[in-house]
Amino acid sequence: MALSADVLNPEQQRAVAHGAGLSQPGPLLIIAGAGAGKTATLAHRVARLIRDGADPARVLLLTFSRRAAAELEQRAGRVLRATLPSGVAVPPSLPWAGTFHSIGARLLRMHAESLGLAANFTVHDRGDSEDLMALLRHETLARHPVESRFPTAATCVAVYSRCVNAEAPLATVVERHFAWCGAHTERLRALFDDYVAAKQRQQVLDFDDLLLYWAVMLGEPALAADIGARFDHVLVDEYQDTNALQATILRRLKPDGRGVTVVGDDAQAIYGFRAATVRNILDFPQQYAPPAEIVTLARNYRSTEAVLGAANAVIALARERYTKDLVTDRAGGAPPAVVTVADETTEARCVVEQVLAWREEGIALKAQAVLFRSSGHSAHVELELARRNVPFVKYGGLKFLEAAHVKDALAVLRWIENPRARLAGFRALRLMPGVGPATATRWLDALDAPAAQDDLLAAMRNFRVPPAAVESWVRLIGVVASLRAPGSAWPGEFDAVVAWYAGELERLYDDAALRQADLEQLARIAAAYPSRERFLTELTLDPPAAAAGHAAEPWLDDDYLTLSTIHSAKGQEWKTVQVLRCVDGCLPSDMASGPDEIEEERRLLYVAMTRARDALVLTLPQRFYVTGQAAGGDRHVYALPSRFLPASVLRHCTQRTWPEPVRVAAEPEAAPRVRIDVRALLRDVWKPAGTRGA
């Protein structure tokens, strides 16, 4: 049976068939425009490889979220079931499908001994990394006081992370991205040395280490040969969002490019703030000899011809790109509207009235979205929606693993898993009554001794425990004993941790019942994993979205409007889209100065426009209220239309002002003049009752 000939267009079929008949075909770059069926193409390619004899266990599929990997795996399975002859068993799932970080963690655990790591190393999330950096920062400043402002722990982690992911020297990163920290470069260098040493002592890795250690492994010929031989095919999704370190991993994994397929769109490279670089996808073909084959998917299955015309015009002005103009079978459609409004308040009223008008036309709120460059840009719209009782959800907010009670329970489990993880231990020990920072630190110092590592339980039983903590301490020793016993069963181990923590929860938090529900949800999540180690690693790398105690209040309505930053909207689509503040200073952001940053801002507008299926509105406020202006001065700043909307783009749009200018009627003919004796009327009013009209 032919594979996908009836559902894929010719370009997609060419991408799917690349290298057919070869055990390891040459490198392939699929440039997939917005809405061009990228996921379907990649799923069909995976299915075709397996149908032609590729071992699923030797296919490495790298994505940017676990959900994306699961979706590709499911879709590839559906294609296989539809195309394999009846009676042939469907091949097993793809065991090596996942994110760069999760795959890196698995490989590191397999080769931990070669890297000087314990197999039970702990993975720090961003919050843990900032906590550790804060402790070391305090020690650094105590030894070397500074008179000027020193970067916060969060900034220090950001600097360190960019150095690792961009493969750039500290001095270069500071100069280009953190110029105000320039006076502290050498102190930062010393701080980062301490940070790396502390992680090694504690047997912990942060997110960046998962990639860095993987790249280091592949730099060793023996390990590189072993890991590279494990996979016949390597497929990478969203390659435009990779950073320099991820590109290095791919090159070292398959130096000749055999079996490599990368999929992406240079026009949607918008994550430079995460150290992603569009150069990876632009330079990919020339990294190999002969160069990689390029297949371009330009048929859009999402937007109308009118919307695509404007979007194509925006990206056509890009300084460097793979040339492609999206085409569609959805001819016609209303041209995008460029609407000029007076200020942010007027913009909010305009946007919400348009939302309600579309709703009256039968377009559900869920089919509509309002997008913006920065989270704060939607403040006026949110107020207007609340005033008019329009339900909405805004992407962002506190994540599940950032909730204090969830971090507490996981800290206990992480510390039992790896007693060298001081941050987890410090948090876990301080959950007990009467245990302060000094006591927790003293206990952790004692547990660092080699004898204590050999017999953790014996060391714990010898501690002098504050009277208030005796009951909790005895119960905790019981949990540690059960989890470290041979044959300890998962997920019952986590149930034991939750049961211990439940005894502390009511003392620690007023809303204990609400937080207990989160712990029960966490226990259900734990039950889906085969082991304690896998649970801790995967949960850190791909956390759930929100905690019940901190999520937005639920609406009774089953319909709601979506508010989202453009970055969060990537990969989504709606029938109608409105984009706020399409003016210089907002889009592009006033923080974008260099040519590379400006080009990324252009791509950001392109991504926003291509989220719309049927209707697109771009709003242009003319002025913004500024609270910091001096009294008596002009309290507004004035804005110009975005430089990304020149005449070549506007000719694809309709332009109007909101509200519509008031039309002044022609002046009527002068009415006949009437003389009124006002004095007589007043005398009549003041006359006593009974005498009026006399």
What band does 423 get if pLDDT is binned at 50, 70 and 90? confident
Residues 331, 309 contacting (CB under 8 angstroms): no
pLDDT greater than 50 at residue 308: yes
> Distance between CA atoms of 569 and 607, rounded to whole angstroms?
8
Q: Which of residues 84 and 189 earns the better pLDDT score?
A: 189
Task: Tell me the per-residue pLDDT of 560-592, one tens digit each, with 9 for 90 and over.
Answer: 899 998 988 888 899 999 999 999 988 998 888
Q: How many CB atoms lie within 10 A of CB 106?
A: 17
Decide if pLDDT at 430 tops 60: yes
Taking CA atoms, 636 is separated from 339, 457, 470, 630, 633, in Å, by: 20, 66, 62, 11, 9
Helix count and strand count (H, E) for the chain: 28, 17
By DSSP bridging, strand 623-625 and strand 636-638 are antiparallel
Q: What is the pLDDT of residue 344?
A: 87
Q: What are the respective helix, strand and coil percentages of the chain, to the nearest 5?
A: 50, 10, 35
- CA–CA gap between residue 571 and residue 265 (Å, rounded): 12
Phi-psi region of 527 (alpha: psi -120 to 50; beta: other; left: phi over 0): alpha
What's the average model confidence in pLDDT over 600-628? 88
pLDDT confidence of residue 670: 58
Q: Sheet of 574-579: strands edge to edge?
A: 392-394, 561-565, 368-372, 574-579, 612-621, 337-341, 654-657
**Using one digit for the tens of pLDDT, what is the confidence trace for 671-682?**
566 667 766 666
Summary mean pLDDT of the chain: 85
In the chain, the largest separation of any two C-alpha atoms, in whole Å, equals 122
pLDDT at 556 over 60: no
**Which region holds residue 55: left if phi is over 0, alpha if psi is between -120 and 50, else beta?**
beta
CB 326 within 8 A of CB 36: yes
Work out the burial of residue 132: count CB atoms within 10 Å of its CB; fewer than 13 is exposed, 13-18 middle, 19 or more buried: buried
For residues 366-385, average pLDDT? 88
Higher pLDDT, 387 or 612: 612
Model confidence at 655, pLDDT cuts 50, 70, 90, reads: very high
**Would you list the DSSP string of 209-241?**
HHHHHHHHHHTSHHHHHHHHTT-SEEEESSGGG
Report the candidate in 606, 670, 591 with the shortest Cα–Cα distance to residue 644: 606
Burial of 137 (0-12, 13-18, 19+ CB in 10 A): buried
Q: What is the pLDDT of residue 82?
A: 77
Q: Higher model confidence: residue 667 or residue 368? A: 368
> Which pLDDT does position 89 carry in this prediction?
63
- Does 370 score more than 60 pLDDT? yes
Signed CA dihedral, 28, 34, 36, 41: sign only: positive
Per-residue tokens: 95: 């065991």
Element (DSSP H or E) covering residue 132: helix 126-143
Least confident of 179-193, 198-212, 364-378, 395-409: 395-409
Per-residue pLDDT tens digits for 475-489? 999 998 888 888 778
pLDDT digits (tens, 9 = 90+) for 87-124: 566 666 788 988 999 999 999 999 988 888 888 888 88
- 613 vs 332: CA distance, rounded Å: 12
Q: 465 phi and psi, to 5 degrees?
A: -105, 135
Two tokens, residue 434: 């009467």
Give the whole-angstrom CA distance, residue 400 versus residue 551: 9
Task: Write 423-426 long-range contacts (CB < 8 A, 24+).
Answer: 423/124, 423/128, 423/131, 423/132, 423/202, 423/204, 424/122, 424/128
pLDDT at 546 over 50: no
